[in-house]
């Protein structure tokens, strides 16, 4: 009977364990977790903080009992400390500091990512938080309940920052978002980022851009946030959300090579350079389907897919990761923002000849009540007509997520922009038009390209 040891039990780790069990009913599978929350949705944490998800238990994709019911052993509250690849052993330590060695035939690393902790004086002050784990969310939630803060500053205008601005407003806080760049949501172009800023301001959020936070100071039970351009403001709570970085310490102890952005280098079969060790999820680099090269894309959807492949291959399978496109979507109050593929500058850096065209279209027939405008930016190759990427901003009810998925599907199959017009898409006046907004934006791109 072969033994499979998995370090990390979030999206990638649990997916690996469940897929390995499907492929090999007899494998001995153990998942080691540094905490006691297997397979919880990190992406759902802002909605727990807002109160939209009132019980944190609901964030579990699968409960510990459900995972154990599949014949998978869970070792909770044990942190992997080091790997002895020659002996096929992992040293783990429990919360009391007691160490033990676990043997394996095959090992899957799914250690995930950590929030970037910038070198800001005062970041360790009470009332200053990062948000990445269940424990982080409990700390924020308790502070909201016990201290009843009236104001919050969010450092960082990325996805977590946007969702937490929404969450804090729903909790009745006055919110300020401070972004180092020229606009919030740097994963989309500035023109779309400005629409998001307008939506934040519409809901009472103050948006500050082009400011780098330099220090945090506590005085008179208040936190003072100070930055470049003489920026200064006071708040009862500060959330720092400036990105994540792969957690690779235990991998490096085994001599595992790192690649893009210091993430674990893996083959498309999710193999590391060390025999019998696989890796998946936010700790690894990701094969980009358009670039045909590795990059770093820490996304839950990608982690699930990579974990499934790592788990299958660890028990004798032969699957390869098809590649990611960076398809992402986020809800900010009444807006939804989506993107997939490459933006103009990214495409140019990759050697393409990009043309980006922006269109404004209605999400359904305007004569039917409730129509909203969608802003769509398509990037295609001006020489070949190949679709390279798309970005969208529209109302929550405008099916933005599913429409960005149409672009993602076309990108996955290497289609041209004009090919979108051949798609047989559904239509009824309350939800679309005879030409879907995706197709109307494609027609605008083709017209501009001619």
What does the pLDDT look like over 388-402, one tens digit per residue? 999 999 999 889 999
How many angstroms separate the CA atoms of 193 and 200, rounded?
Answer: 11
Quote the pTM value: 0.95
- The answer to whether the CB of 246 falls within 8 A of the CB of 283 is yes
Q: What tokens appear for 384 in the block?
A: 């070949």
In DSSP notation, 44-112 reads GHHHHHHTSS--GGGGBSS-HHHHHTTTEEEE-SEEEEEEETTTTEEEEEETTS-EEEEE-SEEEE---
Using DSSP, state whether 357 is helix, strand or coil: strand
Options 3.90.180.10, 3.50.50.60, 3.40.50.300, 3.40.50.2000; which CATH number does 334-449 get?
3.50.50.60
Instruction: Determine the topology of domain 3-39+53-113+244-314 in CATH.
Output: FAD/NAD(P)-binding domain (3.50.50)
pLDDT in tens, 183-204: 999 999 999 999 999 999 999 9
Which pLDDT score, from 0 to 100, does residue 258 have? 97
Strands 28-32 vs 72-75: parallel, antiparallel or unpaired: parallel
Q: Which of 182, 6, 212 is nearest to 109 (CA)?
A: 6
Which pLDDT score, from 0 to 100, does residue 89 have? 97
The rounded average pLDDT for each run of 10 residues, N- to C-terminus, in the chain (450 residues) is: 93 97 96 93 93 92 92 96 97 95 98 95 96 93 95 97 97 97 95 97 98 95 94 97 96 94 97 98 97 96 98 97 97 97 97 97 96 97 97 94 97 98 97 97 94
Which pLDDT score, from 0 to 100, does residue 335 have? 97
SS3 annotation, 231-245: EEEEECEEEECCCEE
Residue ranges of domains in the chain: 3-39+53-113+244-314, 128-240, 334-449
Which pLDDT score, from 0 to 100, does residue 213 have? 97
Which pLDDT score, from 0 to 100, does residue 218 have? 95
CA distance to 124, 205, 435, per residue, from 441 (Å): 47, 31, 10
pLDDT in tens, 83-99: 999 999 999 999 999 99
Which pLDDT score, from 0 to 100, does residue 332 have? 97
Q: Please say whether the structural domain 128-240 has been given the CATH code 3.50.50.60.
A: yes
Which pLDDT score, from 0 to 100, does residue 449 have? 87
Burial (0-12, 13-18, 19+ Cβ within 10 Å), 393: buried
Which pLDDT score, from 0 to 100, does residue 450 have? 79
Burial 178-201 (b: 16+ CB within 10 A, else e): bbbbebbbebbbeebbbbbbebbe
Catalytic residue among 2, 23, 41, 43: 43
- The answer to whether the CB of 172 falls within 8 A of the CB of 51 is no
In DSSP terms, which residues pair with 336 in a beta bridge? Answer: 331, 394
Tell me if 128-240 shares its fold with 334-449: yes
The CA-to-CA distance between both ends of the chain, in Å, stands at 63
Which pLDDT score, from 0 to 100, does residue 189 have? 97
CA distance to 323, 359, 412, per residue, from 291 (Å): 10, 26, 12
How many angstroms separate the CA atoms of 333 and 168, rounded?
Answer: 11
Which pLDDT score, from 0 to 100, does residue 342 have? 98
Please confirm, yes or no, whether 449 is among the known catalytic residues. Answer: no
- The answer to whether the CB of 366 falls within 8 A of the CB of 232 is no
Strands 373-381 vs 387-395: parallel, antiparallel or unpaired: antiparallel
């Amino acid at each position: 009977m072969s033994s499979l040891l998995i370090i990390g039990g979030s999206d990638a780790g649990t997916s690996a364990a469940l897929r390995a069990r499907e492929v090999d009913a007899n494998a001995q599978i153990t998942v080691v977790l540094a905490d006691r929350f297997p397979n919880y949705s990190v992406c759902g944490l802002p909605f727990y903080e807002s109160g939209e998800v009132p019980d944190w238990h609901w964030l579990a994709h699968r409960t510990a009992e459900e995972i154990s019911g599949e014949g998978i052993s869970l070792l909770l509250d044990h942190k992997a400390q080091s790997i002895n690849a020659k002996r096929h052993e992992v040293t783990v330590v429990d919360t009391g500091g007691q160490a033990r060695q676990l043997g394996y035939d095959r090992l899957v690393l799914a250690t995930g990512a950590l929030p970037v902790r910038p070198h800001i004086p005062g970041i360790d002050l009470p009332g200053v938080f990062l948000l990445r784990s269940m424990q982080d969310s409990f700390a924020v939630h308790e502070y909201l309940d016990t201290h009843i803060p009236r104001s919050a500053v969010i450092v960082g205008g990325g996805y977590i920052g946007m969702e937490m601005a929404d969450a804090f407003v729903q909790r009745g806080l006055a919110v300020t978002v401070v972004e180092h760049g020229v606009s919030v949501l740097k994963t989309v172009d500035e023109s779309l980022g400005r629409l998001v800023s307008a939506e934040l301001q519409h809901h009472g959020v103050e948006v500050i851009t082009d400011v780098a936070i330099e220090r945090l100071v506590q005085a008179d039970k208040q936190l003072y946030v100070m930055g470049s351009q003489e920026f200064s403001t006071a708040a009862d709570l500060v959330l720092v959300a400036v990105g994540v970085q792969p957690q690779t310490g235990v991998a490096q102890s085994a001599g595992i090579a790192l690649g893009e952005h210091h993430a674990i280098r893996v083959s498309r079969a999710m193999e590391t350079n060390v025999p019998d060790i696989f890796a998946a999820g936010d700790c690894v680099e990701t094969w980009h389907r358009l670039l045909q090269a590795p990059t770093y894309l820490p996304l839950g959807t990608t982690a699930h897919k990579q974990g499934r492949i790592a788990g299958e291959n660890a028990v004798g399978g032969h699957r390869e990761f098809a590649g990611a496109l960076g398809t992402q979507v986020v809800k900010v109050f009444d807006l939804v923002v989506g993107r997939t593929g490459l933006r103009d500058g990214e495409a140019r850096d990759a050697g393409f000849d990009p043309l980006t065209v922006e269109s404004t279209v209605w999400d359904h027939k305007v004569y039917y009540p409730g129509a909203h405008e969608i802003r769509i930016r398509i990037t295609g190759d001006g020489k070949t007509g190949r679709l390279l990427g798309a970005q969208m901003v529209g109302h929550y009810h405008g099916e933005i997520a599913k429409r960005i998925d149409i672009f993602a599907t076309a990108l996955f199959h290497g289609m041209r922009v004009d090919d979108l017009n051949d798609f047989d898409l559904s239509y009824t006046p309350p939800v679309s038009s005879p030409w879907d907004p995706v197709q109307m934006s494609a027609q605008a791109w083709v017209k501009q390209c001619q």
